[in-house]
Amino acid sequence: MHDPHSERMSGGETRAASGLALVFAFRMLGLFMVLPVMATYGMELQGSTPALIGLAIGAYGLTQAILQIPFGMLSDRIGRRPVIYAGLLIFAAGSLLAANADSIFGVIAGRVLQGAGAISAAVMALLSDLTREQHRTKAMAMVGMSIGLSFAVAMVVGPLLTRAFGLSGLFLATAAMALLGMLVVATWVPRAAAALQHRESGVASQALWPTLKNLDLLRLDFAILALHAILMASFIALPLALVEQGALVKEEHWWVYLTALLVGFFAMVPFIIYGEKKRRMKQVLLGAVCVLLACELFFALVGQDLRSLVLGMVVFFTAFNLLEASLPSLVSKVAPAGGKGTAMGVYATSQFLGAAIGGILGGWLYQHYSLSGVFLGCALLALFWLAFAVTMREPPYVTSLRLPLSSAALQDAGLAERLQAVPGVADAVVVVEEAAIYIKVDTQQLDRKSLERLIETAPVAC
């Protein structure tokens, strides 16, 4: 029996976090591996046009955006595992459909079906069921790292797999990874005693409307939509630019992506450390958007040879990685107490919608206005994003806590108000049905032991 207050993750928690991180990685690999190869290899498919290639790249985002929140809510009703198994099966079916397609329309249908396996919310909810509150952030960070790593691996492995086995081989590999994900859930991930109603990791229907009205959160939702729209549109143009302007055959593109991602990853770390330590995340974010804008203009007007394109992509991925890593953290900071799960659900929906818009718009722009039209379209979107982001406030530097409440503390009507008067506490809300209190705290000002003592000694209301 493990100590409920242990500072170390138990064996079961480690297995849950590692197993579900692996499921996420397999699924994201399958979605991302298409990015660097679809524009160059997809034109060989029957009926292909640049606009339809763009639709094939972004199509998964449409069904993912529509089904993301409903699947999460369904997992609250029928259980996490049935939803995860069904989602992975749907994803595998979509991969097989795309693998056997000989026209672009078959690939588009496969990508739409892949996106319908929208299991992100159910996986995160299962992770919450299987981890204690003090380790949940650590476990979710492992999942976040697996997504980032899968993107980097996909950029390199996608071109190599397609070079060896063609597009059909790539889609067969993604189907195999989905089935492998099911095996991991069945054999490695422990079973939860019960599904938790947990507002930090799932969507609460009562928190949905307040989340959609919150302007600070809406700015961040638009930010991730714009970021992924720019990414998808750029990946229609960049592989083609490497062939047309950089004179680099498509089989050799993998080393460009590997270089850009590796250098970009290490280059962004100092900026995140600076933003968090100096509490200047707004300035860091605005700077990264300016860099994205400059990169798109550079690609459109200057990037006419291989060296320029590689340099531009290194800078592009530095800004992209910085924004991709910092935006979820900002959502966590800005979301009200007890609203983080719902805020992240809307944020993820915006991300997938951005992927769909970027793919469709990028393909259309390339078909009508060539490569420079795609890059200038992305620059225009980045400029619009910048105008929107300038109005954001400096985010609060707070952490979310969820503390269980005794039956006596639950009866204390003034507990949340008294806690908000404690130095370092920014927000607090009692959720009676969970027998818990959600608190947003500034860890630099807060004495957590005093906070817990105050909750434990809460008087019973008369």
CA-based end-to-end distance of the chain: 38
Condensed to tens digits (0 to 9), the pLDDT of residues 299-309 reads: 999 887 889 99
Q: Is 80 exposed, middle or buried (0-12, 13-18, 19+ CB in 10 A)?
A: buried
CA dihedral 69, 73, 76, 77 (to 10 degrees): -150
Please check the confidence at residue 55 and state whether its pLDDT lies above 80: yes
pLDDT band, residue 311 (cuts 50/70/90): very high
- Residue 4 predicted with pLDDT over 60: no
Residue 1 has pLDDT above 60, yes or no: no
Is the per-residue pLDDT at 93 higher than 80? yes
User: What's CA 331's distance to the chain center, in Å?
Assistant: 12
> Helices (H) and strands (E) in the chain — how many of each?
16, 3
Measured on CA atoms in the order 389, 391, 396, 402, is the torsion positive or negative?
negative
The predicted-structure confidence for 24-49, as pLDDT tens digits, reads as follows 999 989 889 999 999 999 989 999 99
Query: What count of Cα atoms within 13 Å lies in the side-chain half-sphere of residue 410?
Result: 10
Position 457 scores a pLDDT of: 63
* Whether pLDDT at 281 is above 50: yes
Give the model confidence (pLDDT) of 440-462 as tens digits: 888 777 766 777 676 666 554 43
Identify the residue with better confidence: 5 or 60: 60
Per-residue pLDDT tens over the stretch 142-160:
887 888 888 889 999 999 9
Q: What are 214-264's pLDDT values in tens digits?
A: 999 999 999 999 999 999 999 999 999 999 887 788 888 889 998 998 898
C-alpha dihedral (83, 328, 208, 434), degrees to nearest 10:
70
Pairwise pLDDT comparison (103 vs 139), residue with the higher score: 103
What pLDDT score was predicted for residue 198? 65
CATH class of 12-189+212-389: mainly alpha
What average pLDDT score do residues 394-399 get?
A: 81
In our burial notation (b when 16+ CB lie closer than 10 A, e otherwise), range 397-414 reads ebebbbbebeeebbebee
Reported confidence tier of residue 296, pLDDT bands at 50, 70, 90? very high
Q: Are 154 and 35 in contact (CB under 8 A)?
A: yes
Q: Which helix (H) or strand (E) holds 135?
A: helix 133-187
Residue 82 clears pLDDT 90, i.e. is over it: yes
Mean pLDDT of 190-206: 71
CB count in 10 Å sphere of residue 4: 10
Find where tokens 């707004």 sit. 282
Could you report the per-residue pLDDT of 131-145, keeping only the tens digit for each?
876 777 788 778 878
CB 123 within 8 A of CB 181: no
Distances, alpha carbon 179 to alpha carbons 71, 91, 390, in Å: 19, 9, 44
Average pLDDT of the residues in 267-273:
90
Task: Give the pLDDT of residue 459.
Answer: 53
Q: Per-domain residue ranges for the chain?
A: 12-189+212-389, 399-456
CA–CA gap between residue 45 and residue 411 (Å, rounded): 66
Q: According to the model, what pLDDT value does residue 196 have?
A: 64
Which strands form 425-431's sheet, in the order they lie side by side?
399-404, 436-441, 425-431
Q: What is the pLDDT of residue 436?
A: 81
- Asked if residue 320 lies in contact with residue 152, where contact means CB atoms within 8 angstroms, the answer is no
Q: pLDDT at residue 197 above 70?
A: no
DSSP labels, 143-173: HHHHHHHHHHHHHHHHHHHHHHHHHHHHHHH
pLDDT on residue 381: 98
389: Cβ contacts below 8 Å, ≥ 6 apart: 219, 223, 285, 286, 289
- Return d(Cα 222, Cα 209) in angstroms, integer: 17
For residues 422-451, one letter each, b for 16 or more C-beta atoms within 10 angstroms of the residue's C-beta and e for the rest, the string is: bebbbbbbbbeebebbbbbbeeeebeeeeb
**What does DSSP assign to residue 41?**
H
Q: Does domain 399-456 have CATH number 3.40.920.10?
A: no
> What's the rounded mean pLDDT across residues 426-443?
81
Residue 70, C-beta contacts closer than 8 angstroms, at least 6 positions apart: none
- Higher pLDDT pick, 201 / 332: 332
The four Cα atoms 296, 301, 305, 309 give a dihedral, to 10 degrees, of -10
Contacts 24+ apart (CB under 8 A), 345-349: 345/68, 345/69, 345/72, 345/121, 345/202, 345/203, 346/69, 346/208, 346/211, 346/212, 346/217, 346/221, 347/217, 347/220, 347/221, 347/224, 348/68, 348/120, 348/121, 349/65, 349/68, 349/69
User: According to the model, what pLDDT value does residue 458 have?
Assistant: 58
